[in-house]
Amino acid sequence: MNFARTMIDTVLSVRDLRTEFATDKGVVRAVNGVSFAMRRGERMAIVGESGSGKSAMAMSLIRLLVHPGKVVNGEVWLQGRDIMTMSESELNDVRGNEIGTVFQDPMSSLDPVMKVRDQMVPPIMRHLSLDRARAEAAAVAWLDKVGIPDAARRIDAFPFEMSGGMRQRVMIAMALSCQPKLIIADEPTTALDVTIQAQIVELLRTLTAETGTAMLFITHDLGLVSRFARTVAVMYAGKIVEIGPTRDVFGNPKHPYTQSLLSAIPRGADGGRSRLVQIPGFPPDMRQEILGCAFKDRCLGAEQRCGEAAPPLSARGPSHDAACWQPNGLDAGSLAQMRKTTDRAARPDVEALPPHDILETNNLSKHFVRGSMLPWRKPVVVRALNGVSLRVRRGETLGIVGESGCGKSTVARLLLELDAPTTGEIFIQGTAQMVFQDPSSSFNPKMRVQDIISEPLDINGRGSKADRAEKVRTLIRQVGLDPSYLERYPSQLSGGQRQRVAVARALALDPTVVVADEPTSALDVSVRAQIINLLCDLKDELGISFVFISHDLSTVRYISDWIAVMYLGEVVEYGPAEEVFRAPAHPYTRALLDAAPVLDPSAEDDRPVSIIKGELPSPLDIPRGCGFATRCPHVSELCRTEKPILVQRQPNRKEACHHVG
Amino acid sequence: MFAFAGKKLIQLIVTTIGVVTLVFFTLRLIPGDAASAMAGDTLSGEALERLRDQMGLNEPLMSQYLTYWRKLLVLDFGETITTGLSAGELMRAAAPITISIALATIVVTVLLAIPLGTLAAFLAHKGKKGLDSLITGAAMVLDLMPSFWTGLFFLLFFSLTLGLFPASGTVSLENPGHFLQRIALPVMVLSVTQVATMARITRTAVLEVLSEDYIRTARSLGWSELRVLFRHALKNAALPIVTVVGLSFGSLLNGTVIVEFIFNIPGIGSLLVNGINSRDYQMVQNLIIVYALIFVTINFVTDLVYRKIDPRVSF
Amino acid sequence: MSMTGSAVLFSPAHPFPRVRGKFMQFLSNQKTQIGLLILVPILVLVVLAPYLPLQKPLQTNLRAMMQWPSWTFPFGTDRMGRDVLSRTLEGVKVSLLVGFSVAFISLAFGVVLGTIAGFFGRFVDRAIMTVVDILLAFPSLLLAIGLVSIVGTGIFPVIVAIAFADVPRFVRLQRSLVLGLRTRAFIDAARTMRASKTWLLFRHIVPNTIAPLLVAASIAAANAILVEASLSFLGLGIMPPEPSLGNIIRDGQTYLEQAWWISTLPGAVILAIAISLHFLSDGIRESLDPRART
């Protein structure tokens, strides 16, 4: 154990923390002996996939776990006092005062029936012993500092009157308002859009630097870690398996889990298209006693002693520890094997393919009209989509990116004829099918996998009963599942398996186009890699075209041949994926790429901090000129009055901006 | 707020019109007609015809309907057929008694059920199953006890055995002491069911709120469990509780009919049962409408209270 | 066509256990078992009543008037020397008949009308819901009282009256279930496969409303039993000499001081039945949705 860091400026030191959840089906050992220390002003990230125990660990630190969760062992020292042995009232003086907390979902973390003022001012009065007037002044000052416009007035707003980004700013203001020594942020940006996420991360970075507050940042997003954290701890099955400076851990990972996780993420920069690493198997059942290393069943380097004793954290470099018997974790050969060696073929040459369109839309728009019960009120028009023209050729993937509210899901619904367009036309050669975002709600819970995959065939009366059964077996093998899964109900499948079934169902009618709306966003990193690999394989083998809709830029970049960037219901930039990502032309595309963190700590350090300001305008009230004018750094008078149209300036590339070229 | 109240008021008026219309026309469905059903075998053809005239049954249906509305709007309920007394006056005498019983029950319910339910929820949240199961189990049994059965128990025990409360005698607001003694048992009987229902609802609502993210936020700001419970949890749980208070007013009105019957209380429930027994259909018709109106008015008030607590409601 | 490389990743061995059949799950639920433990003995007694050494329900016995509960008369006798237990069992038969008929009738009407309102929407929905809202403005017992005053007394009219008051509640429940299901992604998924409305309705929507409807129906049965007893107690439901739990209790009310058992014991049986039905409803809910446990 490397305790070199346990020095005089230590803010927090955690020793052998263990947390259990006593459920009906047995005791879940969520945290299995976690120890680490944090210095003053340190920014540390805890990363892990769902079920790794990272959130339970964070909540244990300030005893915020609720029944049936319980800390069963461990010490948490905060400046000479052990939080675990504090009385209830001592603890209440620490919470909100010496330790501030920011939670994941800003939509649900503020009391909905209380004004911001009533949630924010009383804690300041109590912890800092201020009178009401001074506490209110302090609250307004903090709201101002976290970037809430017109803070003196907004303090009287109810949470529901604010956007998600604004609410998270309020949460941060509340967490910082008593100048704590430590902030615990549990996935603080997960529920937010990329540009807002970048703003919040930047805000946390500058504020903690200014105030010297240490920050513990819990996340599943490795890119964010490299942008934000100096130190990173990787958790697996309730333990820290690797910890150290972010540059070292990401640049030279030593634990097999860290190594495979880092190779399971599509990286934009590496140009070629090597298959993503797939981690076989499932995380261990945390209700069982784990003998030896928890990762051994999924590790290609596992040997006998891994099953006998769990490796302790041991030094691999300055302040860099890993918990593996092998000094360097997996060798290159094992990692290559996990990619299934077959590197992806080079992308089909865009120019060389015959210009054979499978899907085309012309000037597609969709307006939703919301009437009122009162007849004299003017009905409200939501302009979800305003004149979108797209083209997908045979065997190619079109990626559509944009933040929530940009209309990308509306496009999907129109393509599948789930909604009728207000204007415009859609031409599809053959049939289009869809893979939905949430694999748990896109299946009827009363149907078996067999009936789910067979449903499109049944509806359309394809073939005899025996033909259909045979087809279903072919399909399920095609998506990499054993036919024994056909007997199961969706609730008996894991998230990744469900998404495979969804793909199989989409393939049943031999579609020419598959529209996938955020098919991987509900999945963990390692599972996401499997689904991305699957989609790439299918595209190559079956020559299917894909429309891949996502907010995750690195995934879209990895999977797409063409890309359409959407903003406020319009396509603002269109072109070959690699070119657009390498040399974005539209200011919004640039802003998106700047905002999205990449998996390289040194690149993140070198990157100029230019973060787009402001938030998306309401689709009820779209600006008259360019939709992006309210946030664009290059805005001119022309942009405010005249809407730019999508213009082709170089071969294959189009953008809608007055200031390009 | 005003727009909201306006919308709800429009809904109230529409429902009222519907209620009156429905009751009026349903009554015309009686085999034969109301007069012959009322008279049974007692009246001869000519007398029956006179009764029909008196009840206005010989007019065209639409004009009967309009006459009915005209009288209703000036609160003219006609005369009771059997006694010849003014139906309006009988109802004016009876209504305050029933309403007093109902309101007293609500007060008792709120005072007992909300602390009990909150306590049970708090215990359940902390994983202390014992006392919570006791409260929840007792509430379930009490909730399902038929109120006429509880009523008889209370009558037997408090009145007949202990002699604490009189089970008969006049009920008049002019003698408040005696009035309270007379309505004490009915209120207790009704409260058993109401407290049980409300405590269960409160428990569920508070328990659900306690697992919300903003409760964790409040804790993370250093607030004590007590303050979290009363400032944040109860205030948010108030929303479903208020809704249920409004809805369970219906079962409360049901209950008043039964306790009035058991304890000989001359409220509108007794008028109703007497009306049915003497086949006074006009009386029954008017009383059913009055009950419905009390119920929709209470629900209207509930909606306003809900809106007052929850700033998000804007439909 | 080649298999994709990931095929080997998923062997049949996996950490997600198979779920037993729904019905077995229902039977093995603790609350179901409590409910059955109460209900089954009552049912057995009702069925076996004619073969038990009990005095017939309508038979009077002037030598044994208002007798304390004993081995011969476990629930005692009433003022005409009739056996309260055998009358109670006869009354339970009526109660159960009323309870289940009401549950069935209101379920049937509620499902049809609620599905139409929720699935087809627009004008039909508005028309149905307007009527439903008006009917819901009446407290249920009072609506039933009003109706029996028109349709008369007896088992059948009582069933009709109570069911009439219950139907609007089922319509509303079913409508909200259908509306909730209509926005689920699996409906969209089926629509992308060109599923017809009939297919959506009978393959996806209706099957998913059955569980919550069954939960509501068993509560409705318990409720109907209580309402019938209340009506008969008020003298507006089932009339003597035909025994019903409500009118037995009404009979005993006059002799409460001299013979408490006439009223109280049949009341306890009503309570037991109501409790057992509530336990069964909890059992259905928990076995169909494991998260429902609170």
CA distances from A440 to A522, C155, C181 (A): 10, 47, 14
Give the closest of C249, C268, C278 to B140, CB-based: C278
**Average pLDDT for A158-187:** 92
Q: A393-410 pLDDT, tens per residue?
A: 988 999 999 988 888 989
Q: Quick one: closest CA in C to B207, which residue?
A: C294
Identity of the residue in B15, B144, B276 whose CB atom sits nearest the CB atom of C149: B276
Q: CB C142 to CB B291 under 8 A?
A: yes
pLDDT for the residue A349: 47
Report if residue C215 sits inside a domain: yes
CB-CB contact of A576 with A396 (8 Å): no
Judged by CB atoms closer than 8 Å, whether chains meet at A533 and C5 is answered as: yes
Q: Other C-beta atoms within 10 Å of C33: how many?
A: 13
Cβ distance of A108 and B7 shorter than 8 Å: no
pLDDT at position A5 over 60: no
- B203–A contact, CB cutoff 8 A: no
Chain C residues within 8 angstroms (CB to CB) of chain A: 1-12, 14-19, 184-186, 188-196, 199, 203-204, 207-208, 293
**pLDDT for residue A449 is more than 90:** yes
Q: Looking at the predicted structure, is the pLDDT value of residue A193 above 90?
A: no
Lowest pLDDT segment from A208-222, B165-179, C33-47, C183-197 = B165-179
Amino acid at C120: F
Nearest to B215 by CA among A83, A172, A65: A65
Number of Cβ within 10 Å of residue B219's Cβ equals 23
Q: Is the CB of B292 less than 8 angstroms away from the CB of C256?
A: no
- Complex-level ipTM: 0.86
Banded model confidence at residue A602, pLDDT cuts 50, 70, 90: confident
pLDDT digits (tens, 9 = 90+) for B216-270: 999 999 999 999 998 899 989 998 888 888 888 888 999 999 999 999 899 999 9
Q: With cut-offs at 50, 70 and 90, classify the pLDDT of residue B50.
A: confident
- List the chains bordering chain A where 3 or more Cβ pairs fall under 8 Å: B, C
Q: Which of A196-200, A251-255, A344-348, B273-277 has the lowest mean pLDDT?
A: A344-348
CATH of the domain at C86: 1.10.3720.10
Question: What pLDDT, on a 0 to 100 scale, did the predictor assign at position A580?
Answer: 92
Q: Quote the pLDDT of residue B43.
A: 67
The answer to whether the CB atoms of B217 and A113 lie below 8 A apart is no
Q: Is B279 on the interface with A (CB under 8 A)?
A: no
CB distance B214–A171 less than 8 Å?
no
What is the domain partition of chain B in residue ranges? 2-73, 92-309
Determine what percent of chain A is predicted with pLDDT higher than 90: 49
Residue B125 in contact with partner chain A when CB distance is under 8 A:
yes
Judged by CB atoms closer than 8 Å, whether chains meet at A109 and B213 is answered as: yes
pLDDT, position B281: 80
Chain C environment of B153 (Cβ under 8 Å): 264
Query: Which pLDDT does position B111 carry in this prediction?
Result: 93
Distance in Å, alpha carbon of B254 to nearest chain C alpha carbon: 6
pLDDT tens, residue by residue, C28-60: 888 899 999 999 999 999 998 888 877 787 777
A416 pLDDT band (50/70/90 cuts)?
A: very high
Q: What pLDDT score does A375 carry? A: 62
Mutate to test the interface with A, among C2, C3, C10, C196 (most CBs of A within 10 A): C10
Is residue C259 in some structural domain? yes
Q: What is the pLDDT of residues B267-300, one digit of tens each?
A: 999 999 988 888 888 888 888 888 998 899 888 8
Position C14 confidence tier, pLDDT thresholds 50, 70, 90: very low
Query: What three-state secondary structure class fits A549?
Result: strand
Nearest CA in chain C to A278: C6
In a domain, C65, yes or no: no
**Chain A nearest C-alpha distance from C20 (Å):** 11
Q: What is the pLDDT of residue B312?
A: 76
User: Under an 8 A CB cutoff, do C6 and A436 touch?
Assistant: no
Task: Name chain B contacts of C246, Cβ cutoff 8 Å.
Answer: 148
Q: What is the mean pLDDT of residues A420-433?
A: 92
Size of interface B-C (CB pairs under 8 A): 124
Q: Which of C3, C190, C204 minimises the CB distance to A477?
A: C3
What integer pLDDT is reported at residue C228 of this predicted model? Answer: 93
Q: Do B220 and A95 touch (CB under 8 A)?
A: yes
Say what the pLDDT of residue C5 is. Answer: 36
Nearest CA in chain C to B248: C139
Nearest to B152 among C149, C253, C274 (CB): C253
Q: Chain A residues with CB inside 8 Å of C186's CB? A: 441-444
Q: Name the pLDDT band for B33 (thresholds 50, 70, 90).
A: low
- Percentage of chain A modeled with pLDDT above 70: 94
Is residue A315 a contact partner of residue A2, using CB atoms and an 8 Å limit? yes
Task: Say if C86 falls within a structural domain.
Answer: yes
Which pLDDT band, with edges at 50, 70 and 90, does B40 fall under?
Answer: low
Describe the crossing of helices B281-309 and B268-277 by its angle, rounded to 10 degrees: 150
- Cβ contact, residue pair B18, C134, below 8 Å: yes
| Three state DSSP letters for chain C | CCCCHHHHHCCCCCCCCCCCCHHHHHHHCHHHHHHHHHHHHHHHHHHHHHHCCCCCCCCCCCCCCCCCCCCCCCCCECCCCCEHHHHHHHHHHHHHHHHHHHHHHHHHHHHHHHHHHHHHCHHHHHHHHHHHHHHHCCCHHHHHHHHHHHHCCCHHHHHHHHHHHHHHHHHHHHHHHHHHHHCCHHHHHHHHCCCCHHHHHHHHHHHHHHHHHHHHHHHHHHHHHHHHHHHHHCCCCCCCCCCCHHHHHHHHHCCCCCCCHHHHHHHHHHHHHHHHHHHHHHHHHHHHCHHHCC
pLDDT at C23 over 80: no
Residues of chain C found within 8 Å of residue B140, distances taken between Cβ atoms:
275, 278
By CB neighbour count within 10 A (0-12 exposed, 13-18 middle, 19+ buried), where does C37 fall? exposed
> Is the pLDDT higher at B31 or at A74?
A74
Cross-chain Cβ contact A108/B216 below 8 Å: no
For C287, the domain range is: 28-49+75-293
pLDDT given for residue A268 in this prediction: 63
Task: Say how far apart CA A393 and CA A513 lie, in whole Å.
Answer: 9
pLDDT at A641 over 60: yes
pLDDT value for A404: 84
Q: Are A480 and C12 an interchain contact pair (Cβ–Cβ within 8 Å)?
A: no
Q: How far is C36 from chain A (nearest CA, A)?
A: 23
Dihedral over Cα of A434, A438, A439, A440: its sign: negative
According to the model, what pLDDT value does residue A501 have?
94
CB within 8 Å of C1: residues ≥ 6 apart: A474, A478, A541, A542
Q: What is the predicted pLDDT for the residue at C201?
A: 93
CB distance B236–A112 less than 8 Å? yes
Contacts of B217 in chain A (CB under 8 A): 101, 103, 109-111, 119, 171, 174
Question: How many angstroms away from the CA of C267 is the closest CA of chain B?
Answer: 6
pTM, to two decimals? 0.85
Count of domains forming chain C: 1
Identify the pLDDT of residue C273: 94
Inter-chain CB proximity A92 and B224 less than 8 Å: yes
For chain A, which domains are there? Answer: 10-229 (3.40.50.300), 249-265+278-339 (no CATH), 352-431+511-528+537-661 (3.40.50.300), 435-510 (no CATH)
- Helical residues (DSSP H) of B126-175, grouped into ranges: 129-144, 147-154
pLDDT of C8 strictly over 60:
no
Query: Which pLDDT does position B81 carry in this prediction?
Result: 65
Quote the pLDDT of residue A341.
42
C16 part of a folded domain: no
pLDDT one-digit tens code per residue, A240-275 = 999 999 999 999 999 999 999 988 888 765 545 678
In a domain, C56, yes or no: no
* CB-based contact C66:C259 (threshold 8 Å): yes
Mean pLDDT, all residues of chain A: 88
Q: Rounded to an integer, what distance in angstroms lies between the CA atom of residue B121 and that of residue B241?
A: 13
Q: What is the pLDDT of residue A321?
A: 95
Return the residue of B nearest to C266 by Cα. Answer: B149
Confidence at C291, pLDDT banded by 50, 70, 90: low
Assign A347 a pLDDT band (cuts: 50, 70, 90).
very low
Q: Is the pLDDT of residue A167 over 60?
A: yes
The reply to whether residue C4 touches residue A444, judged by beta carbons under 8 angstroms, is no
Residue of A nearest to B231 (CA): A114
pLDDT at B246: 84
Tokens of A560: 């797409």
Q: Per the CATH hierarchy, to which homologous superfamily does domain B92-309 belong? A: MetI-like (1.10.3720.10)
Reported confidence tier of residue C6, pLDDT bands at 50, 70, 90: very low
